[in-house]
Amino acid sequence: RKGVAQDTRTPSPWLLLRRMEMQYKGVKMADVQPAGDETFNGKVPVDFRRNRYPCAVVWQPFPPLTWLVPMIGHTGITDSQGIVHDFQGPYTVIEDSMMLGRACRYLPLDPSKVCASVEGSTPEERWDKCIEQGCDDFRKKNSLFALS
């Protein structure tokens, strides 16, 4: 159209990754730029500014590897309050922070489907107990970053 500037730049690798993800028909992970407020089970709201995603697996790109192989990235898991538990290396679990900054994607999970026999009167309490036990177990193990 006349008078409208055309963008002739090459798209960034991240934009290409986003386009490929949109074409993928498998698991749909939520985008961190929602149209409005979101809650999980109507209890704890997702808070994008504070990086809080209750009962979810969170993901972030691992540049430049993600640019070359889009499925490579870094993951963490959150408790029922949305605090990220990030397994960053041997014996190391960091809470409320991820290795490479903020989460870029999240996949909400249903805490009522926890099959572990742990104490707790609500699904969220059992979820938190499982996260705590997993973190304690990981802090006792020497693991390779590729296998953790």
Q: pLDDT digit of tens for each residue in the chain (148 aa)? A: 454 444 455 555 555 555 555 544 344 444 444 434 455 555 778 888 888 999 999 999 988 888 898 888 888 999 999 999 998 878 888 898 888 888 888 999 999 888 878 888 899 999 999 999 989 988 887 765 544 4
Structure tokens at 119: 């104490």
Amino acid symbol at 23: Q
Pull the structure tokens for residue 145. 């970053």
Which DSSP symbol is given to 146?
Answer: G
**Degrees, nearest 5: CA angle 140-89-119:** 45
Residue 95: both structure tokens together: 């809470």
Q: Which residues pair with 86 in a beta bridge?
A: 94
Instruction: Give the pLDDT score at 92.
Output: 85
Query: Residue 93 in 3-state DSSP?
Result: strand
State the pTM of this model: 0.66
- What is the identity of the amino acid at 88? Q
